[in-house]
Structure 1
Amino acid sequence: MLTRTAIYEGTVRDGQEEAFFRRVRDELEPFWRRFPGVTAVRVQRLVSKDADARPIAMILEMDFPDQAALDACLASSIRPESHAATEAVMQMFDGRFYHLVSAAHSLDVAG
Structure 2
Amino acid sequence: MLTRTAIYEGVIRAGQEDTFFRRVRDELEPLWRRFPNVTAVRVQRVIAKDEDAQPIAMILEMDFPDRAAIEACLASPIRPESHAATMAVMTLFEGRFYHLVTEARALAPSP
Q: TM-score range by the shorter chain?
A: over 0.9
Matched residues in 1 for 2:90 and 2:40: separation? 23
Specify every segment of 5 or more residues in structure 2 that has no aligned partner in the other structure, as ranges: none
After TM superposition, the runs of 4+ consecutive aligned structure 1 residues lying more than 6 A away are: none
Task: Determine helix, strand or coil for the equivalent of 1:24.
Answer: helix
Deviation (angstroms), 1:108: 1.4
Matched residues in 1 for 2:106 and 2:12: separation? 33
Matched residues in 2 for 1:23 and 1:54: separation? 23
Q: Which residue of 2 is the match for residue 64 of structure 1?
A: 64
Specify every segment of 5 or more residues in structure 1 that has no aligned partner in the other structure, as ranges: none
> Percent identity between the aligned chains?
75
Query: Within 5 A, what are the aligned runs for 1:1-111?
Result: 1-110=1-110
Aligned length: 111
TM-score between the two structures when normalised by the length of structure 2: 0.98
Deviation (angstroms), 1:109: 1.1
RMSD: 0.6
Matched residues in 2 for 1:37 and 1:31: separation? 13
TM-score between the two structures when normalised by the length of structure 1: 0.98
Amino acid across the alignment from 1:28? L
